[in-house]
Structures are given as C-alpha cells and as structure tokens.
Amino acid sequence: MNRQTLNQVVERVKMLVFRPRAAWETIRDEEHSRKDLMYYLAMLAVVPAAASFLGMWLVGYWISVKPIFRLSFGRSLSYALIGYGLTVCGVWLIGKAIGFLAPRFGAETDELKALKLAVFSATPYLAAGILNLFPPLGTVIFIAGFYSLYLIYLGLPIVMDVPKERSFSLTVTILISVICIYLVIGWITSLILMPVLVI
C-alpha cells in the first residue's frame, strides 16, 4: 500500500461508512506492509489529537449550554500528545488481540491481516475525532466507536477468513478485549493527566 494522500484517505473513510463490505473487499486485495499500516494509523490519529488540543484550549468543557472551563495552551497540548500516543497504542493492541483470538474461531493466523483489520476499522472513529473541536459533541465520537466495532464484525470473514457463523461470537470477544484495553488506557491516562487537569 502506497502512503495515501488526504483525498485518498477521505475516499476510504466515505467507502467504509457508506459501502463497508465493498471497502473490506478492496482492502483485502491490497498489499499492506506493517510499516505502511502504522504510518496510516499515525497520520489519521493526528485528527482527534489536534482537534482535542484546539477544543480544550479554545472551546473548553461544557455542561448543557454553559462552558465550565478551558485548559491552558500547555495543558491542552500535553493532553493531546498523550492522547495521541495512547490512541495509536490502543489500535495496535486491538490488532494484537484480533490476531490472538481469530485462530481460536476458525481463522488463519496472520498478525498483519489482524493489524489491517484493526487499523481500517478504526478509520471512521478516528476521522470522527474532528468533532473534538467542540468537546460537547463527544457522544457522537462514542457512537462512531460502535460503528468501528460493526466494521470489525463485517471485516472478520472478508479479511481474516473467519467463518461467518462465528463472526458474531468473535466480535463479542473482541469487544470485551477492547473494553479491557481502554479501561487500562483510561487508567493510565488519568494517572498521567490528573496533575495536568487540576486547575
């Protein structure tokens, strides 16, 4: 896979949202190296990180229609940089979880395909991170996360050759793994950012 231009990434997001099965068939037939997948992930993860930085610094946190507080430039930047690193790490760990679990549900053992599935299923979620520009819209990003899980469900039989009748069970198992991963990430984030967020 060649490193993609912004227009190509936008088209990929649109295809994954509006024509997900066709998108997975296209992705399955593409050649991807681990380096290219991580580059794609690293570039796309900039979207929620940059939006979080601007949102926390310029807009701030709201309850209902009332702004509660904004973070300073330095604190917003620290939060965004840490969030960026943990986002990339989280998607990579999800790929590892898929690679570990899939063979137990009748799929072939292929960590590169598992990483491919994790990275591209995260695409709509990461793209929705642009909404971090206005932190009160965080619920929409949460919904995008569930859509990414649906993409994993659709992609398992296409990319990983998981038997269709076992895709749902594997997806539920992956969901449990994702929850565990992000609970740990949330705990780490709170430990790192607690001094940052105290105003």
Q: Residue range 49-66: average pLDDT?
A: 78
How many whole angstroms separate alpha carbon 89 and alpha carbon 112?
Answer: 16
Q: Is 176 a domain residue?
A: yes
Residue 179 lies in a domain: yes
Q: How many CB atoms lie within 10 A of CB 29?
A: 7
User: Looking at the 3D structure of the chain, how many domains does it have?
Assistant: 1
The verdict on residue 17 lying in a domain is: yes
pLDDT at 103 over 90: yes
Whether 173 is covered by a domain: the verdict is yes
For residue 27, what are the domain limits?
Answer: 6-197
What pLDDT sits at residue 199? 46
pTM summary value: 0.86
At 13-26, the pLDDT tens digits run 899 999 999 999 99
Closest CA to 131 of 55, 59, 68: 55
Give the integer Cα–Cα distance in Å for 22 and 176.
27
- Does 162 have pLDDT greater than 70? yes
Residue 189 located in a structural domain: yes
Q: Residue 120: inside a domain, yes or no?
A: yes
Q: Which has more confidence, 158 or 199?
A: 158
Is position 1 within any domain?
Answer: no
pLDDT of residue 81: 92
Question: Looking at residue 15, what is its pLDDT?
Answer: 93
